[in-house]
Amino acid sequence: MELVAVVKRDCETCRLVEPVLAQIRGRAPLALYSQDDPAFPESLGGAQDDTALARSWRLRIETVPTLIRFEGDKEVARIAGWDRAEWERVAQQAKLGPGLPAFQPGCGSKTQDPGMPERLALEHGDLTLRSRRIEVADPEDAIEAAYDRGWSDGLPVVPPTPLRVAMMLSGTTRRPDEVIGLIPPNLSECTVEKAAVNAVMAGCRPEYFPVVLAVIETALDPKFSMHGLLATLWFAGPVVIINGPIAKRIGMNSGGNALGQGNRANATIGRALQLVIRNVGGGVPGGVDRAVFGNPGKYTFCFAEDESDPEWTPLNVARGFKPGTSTVTLFHGDGVQGIAAGRSRTPEGLARSLAMGLAAVCHPKLAEWAGAILAISPDHFAIFREGGWRRSEIEAGLREALRRPGKDLVYGAHGVEEGIDPARAGEMVDKFNPGTLLVVRAGGRGGLMSAVIGGWPAQRKKAEVQPVTREIPL
Amino acid sequence: MSVETYHMLDPTAELSSERRARRAPPANLEGATIGLMSISKERSREFLDTMERLFTARGLKIARFEKPTHTKPAPEAVVQAIVERCAVVVVGLAD
């Protein structure tokens, strides 16, 4: 029989059991390890130095003090913290610690300090990262080194050290070597590890990582047509909308400035997708990315929907998911166009007003062409709600207000060459194909305004290019 | 972490593409089959019809191809068919 105890000086309970350890060692072989100070405990002449935590890691110590009994090489009993009856059972000794309280909880093992499990997993081979390691002579140059290698979208990236990548991987239970898909345009395999490397560079926290993985997988859905979206001349890039409890859990912004800067989760999740396309897929401006202008959302474009009003049916529920499901929706969007509509006080009038803003998507004379996102502000939604309109009435009202006589839209009508096929002059024509206008609720209070995010003309090929919503596996 | 051991992990797919020289254009089109591929965008076909008329008028051989949608890359089978049959190819854009 051999007894092993792991302690640290910086733990009141470890100091409390010092006389108990002396008692035990007087009667049986006891190997003693200290995580922070090998001089502790002084009354026993110190302990074996485990400040590198190798022994603690292999023993899977989570709390100190921990007392373990081995028979041969086999662990047969363990107690963490101080509990007289349990210590007596594990040590097989009676009358331990007379005068001590019967019980006192232990302290956290240093192996559980933030970042330490990942560091130790890397050091001891429990986590193997396969990506090529690039040595940087001076950490100060790491960001410049990333620029030099073409890894950046133009903004500084967080240097993807093995430790940071290991911590990112702690955000998922998926194996690092699992292939999540082929990233366009090069159709290169993307492993969970490569996604983690890019998520680190984008600035994500580990708790965002399940969302990042879901966003990448959604972008790879053939219906989304990520290759075409990258290659297009048009402004558009992937716009990410997050629904469900995950958005709050990771602190996403759905309120004031939801489409703007300043929220880490919004900013970095959208950026992680773009960095994966760039670095794993090889999709870069001037290469397969042929955008004439692009738009600032191609750095990152990600926000959460505001689901706080029970009268509002969230986007993912409207698209067939159960309430309370966390989802990602990907849309092919360009920039934001504001609509000022401050004078409407009825749902009908407001729908007509918002429709005028939506009519300009792509071109006022194009119809059944690009889709759009309409983000309705809380103050605009209040007008709809007070008038008894909910999602379905709003969508129907917008559709009605957006229908135009074909004769106003055909080539040449109103002196403008752009337009639709003259064969449709006698029809009433919808602005949007079914399913390509996504109405969401977002933004802060205090403004009678809403936002249009125009879509991508390829959405007119509705069988080939669609917005895609997927559940985020948690 | 010490300065000597500062490492970053490569975020790329770690593939290096082979750089191949462009094939020299044929000296003339005599006897060659010219592939005309529509990308299926609006007016792609009209453009290629015009090309076909002009080539045919000069006594040249034409083979027409089309990918199913301009929103996605051409399927491998279409690319292979062009490679097998044609000496040169014109890809029809649109707009």
Q: What is the pLDDT of residues A242-295, one digit of tens each?
A: 999 999 999 999 999 999 999 999 999 999 999 999 999 999 999 999 999 999
Q: Which of A275, A167, A118 is nearest to A212 (CA)?
A: A275
Decide if A288 touches B, using CB distance below 8 A. Answer: no
Q: Is residue B94 part of a domain?
A: yes
Place of tokens 């194009």: A366
- Given CB atoms, is B76 within the 8 Å cutoff of chain A? no
A83: phi then psi, degrees, rounded to nearest 5: -150, 105
Instruction: Closest CB to A227: pick one of B3, B13, B73.
Output: B73
Residue B53 lies in a domain: yes
Residue numbers of chain A with a pLDDT score lower than 50: none
Quick check: A281 contacting B, CB < 8 Å?
yes
Question: Three-class SS string for A413-453?
Answer: HHHCCCCECHHHCCCEECCCCCCCEEEEECCCCCCCEEEEE
In a domain, B82, yes or no: no
pLDDT, position B2? 45
Q: How far is A48 from chain B (nearest CA, A)?
A: 24
> Does the residue B56 lie in any domain?
yes
Q: Which residues sit opposite A135 in a β-bridge?
A: B7
Is B71 at the interface with chain A, CB within 8 A? yes
- If you measure CA to CA, which chain A residue comes closest to B41? A458
Is residue A46 less than 8 Å (CB to CB) from chain B? no
**Distances, alpha carbon B83 to alpha carbons A306, A329, B79, B86, in Å:** 52, 39, 6, 6
Residue B50 lies in a domain: yes
For residues A358 and A431, the answer to whether their CB atoms sit within 8 Å is: yes
**Cβ of residue B7 closer than 8 Å to a chain A Cβ:** yes
Minimum distance, in Å, between the CA of residue A190 and any CA atom of chain B:
7
Contact A275 B11 (CB under 8 A): yes
For residue A428, give the 3-state DSSP assignment.
Answer: strand
Residue B52 belongs to some domain of the structure: yes
Average pLDDT over residues B50-73: 92
- The two three-digit tokens of residue A365, written as one number: 């004379």
CA distance to A132, A210, A243, per residue, from A192 (Å)? 15, 10, 23
Per residue in B18-40, pLDDT (tens digit) is: 788 888 888 888 889 999 999 88
Does residue B61 belong to any structural domain of this protein? yes
Q: Which domain holds residue B48?
A: 38-69+89-95
Does residue A461 sit at the B interface (CB-CB below 8 Å)? yes
Instruction: Note whether residue B26 is domain-resident.
Output: no
Decide: residue B1, CB within 10 A, 0-12 exposed, 13-18 middle, 19+ buried.
exposed
Q: How many other CB atoms sit within 10 Å of the CB of residue B80?
A: 11
Q: Are A134 and B10 within 8 A, CB to CB?
A: yes
List the domains of chain A with CATH numbers. 2-111 (3.40.30.10), 335-454 (no CATH)
A369 DSSP assignment:
S
Query: CA-to-CA distance for A402 and A410, rounded, in angstroms?
Result: 16
Please state the domain count of chain B.
Answer: 1
| Residue B4: per-residue pLDDT | 55
Contact B91, B41 (CB under 8 A): no
Token readout for A403 is 């229908």
Kindly list the residues from chain A whose CB atom is less than 8 angstroms away from the CB atom of residue B42: none
Query: Rounded to an integer, what distance in angstroms lies between the CA atom of residue A450 and that of residue A454?
Result: 13
